[in-house]
């Protein structure tokens, strides 16, 4: 059986326009096949048969419809793992977290707000939580470290809330960290420690929806990694504007490994770390 639904040109154009308007995610010609694979199941599940019927079907619902969720869930890529991208991790661990702790420390403790935008199933958010725990050690309980983990995809948020992960997603983690922060449930399931889980707040958020992003203000560290690639230039600029507004003065933002802001935003200062780049407000 064919894995994909072959999109006719007018179908492709209408579908990508619809997706773009609702999510800001833009499928280029290069990603057409990816969309053809992902849409196949949606068409058969809904019994719509073709793209125009499917768009009508979607359009008849309001913004929070189940099928719109299903579509977002299908088209967003969720591959992630703990301590992913060693160089980025090292920059955050050695520089950014110590600086945030230093600037936010008042009378021996303080508050920190991190936003992991498009955090998928939460590995990145929990990684940051673990790194703060490692730095703060016994002081951790005196601090309020909140890591807001948002995604447009309900399914991944559900697994973020459980805090249960497979050994595979922990492949870049040292055995020592795994042992201290996770409880082995059974064969290949590990659950994150309760106090670390409590630091992470999973929430649904569409990055294109300015109103829903606005509440994540006063952010010390914003991670929006490998997300902007899905947006076209205009949406990118819009999202970055929100990011800039939401960051605290002096706060840091990190994009994905090979992503840069060049040509999209001049508000941030480019910070070079060893083999990694970040942006500062």
Partner 1 sequence: MIENFKDRILSLIEYLPPIPGVINDLIKLLESENCDVREISRIIEQDPSLSVNVLRIANSAFYGLPYKVSSIQYAVNLIGFRELASLCIFCGVGSAFNPPAGIDTIDLKMFWKHSIATGIIAKIFCREFDIGVRENLYLAGLVHDIGKIVIDRSDHDIYSGVIRLTYDDNISVTEAEDKIIGESHSSIGSWLLEKWKLPRMFIETAAYHHLVRDASEEYRELVAVISLADQIARLKGFGFGGDMRGIILTGTPAFEIVRDKNPHIGDLDMARFVMDLDRADNEIFEMEKIING
Interface residues toward partner 1, by CB under 8 A: 90-91, 94-96, 258, 260-263, 269-275, 277-278, 280
Nearest to partner 1 of 196, 255 (CB atom): 255
What is the spatial distance between Cα 78 and Cα 153, in angstroms, rounded to a whole number?
9
Closest CB 275 distance from partner 1, rounded Å: 6
Contacts of 221 (CB under 8 A, 6+ apart): 92, 96, 97, 100, 112, 114, 115, 128, 251, 252, 253, 254
What is the spatial distance between Cα 219 and Cα 173, in angstroms, rounded to a whole number?
26
Nearest to partner 1 of 106, 274 (CB atom): 274
Nearest to partner 1 of 198, 270 (CB atom): 270
Nearest to partner 1 of 96, 219 (CB atom): 96
Could you tell me which of 148, 147, 128, 120 has the C-alpha nearest to residue 213? 148
Closest CB 121 distance from partner 1, rounded Å: 28
Closest CB 226 distance from partner 1, rounded Å: 15
Could you tell me which of 202, 225, 117 has the C-alpha nearest to residue 154? 202
Would you state the torsion angle of the CA atoms of residues 101, 103, 105, 106, taken in this order, to the nearest 10 degrees? -170
What is the spatial distance between Cα 267 and Cα 141, in angstroms, rounded to a whole number?
35
What is the spatial distance between Cα 213 and Cα 239, in angstroms, rounded to a whole number?
9
Closest CB 273 distance from partner 1, rounded Å: 4
Closest CB 266 distance from partner 1, rounded Å: 10
Nearest to partner 1 of 7, 92 (CB atom): 92
């Amino acid at each position: 059986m064919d894995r994909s639904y072959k999109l006719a040109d007018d179908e492709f154009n209408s579908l990508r326009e619809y997706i773009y308007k609702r999510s800001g995610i833009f499928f280029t010609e290069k990603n057409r096949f990816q969309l053809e694979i992902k849409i196949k199941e949606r068409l058969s599940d809904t019994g719509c048969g073709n793209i125009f019927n499917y768009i009508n079907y979607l359009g008849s619902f309001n913004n929070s419809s189940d099928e719109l969720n299903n579509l977002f869930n299908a088209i967003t890529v969720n591959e992630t793992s703990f301590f992913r991208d060693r160089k980025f991790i090292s920059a955050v661990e050695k520089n950014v977290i110590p600086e945030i702790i230093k600037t936010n420390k008042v009378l021996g403790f303080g508050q920190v707000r991190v936003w992991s935008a498009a955090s998928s199933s939460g590995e990145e958010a929990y990684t940051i939580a673990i790194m703060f725990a490692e730095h703060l050690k016994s002081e951790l309980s005196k601090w309020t470290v909140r890591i807001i983990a948002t995604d447009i995809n309900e399914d991944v948020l559900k697994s973020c809330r459980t805090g249960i992960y497979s050994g595979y997603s922990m492949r870049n983690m040292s055995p020592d960290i795994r042992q201290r922060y996770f409880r082995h449930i059974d064969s290949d399931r590990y659950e994150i420690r309760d106090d670390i889980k409590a630091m992470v707040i999973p929430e649904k958020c569409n990055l294109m929806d300015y109103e829903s992003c606005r509440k994540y203000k006063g952010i010390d560290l914003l991670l929006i990694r490998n997300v902007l690639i899905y947006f076209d230039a205009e949406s990118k600029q819009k999202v970055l504007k929100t990011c800039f507004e939401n960051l605290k003065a002096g706060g840091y933002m990190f994009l994905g490994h090979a992503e840069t802001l060049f040509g999209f935003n001049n508000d941030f200062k480019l910070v070079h770390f060893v083999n990694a780049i970040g942006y500062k407000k």
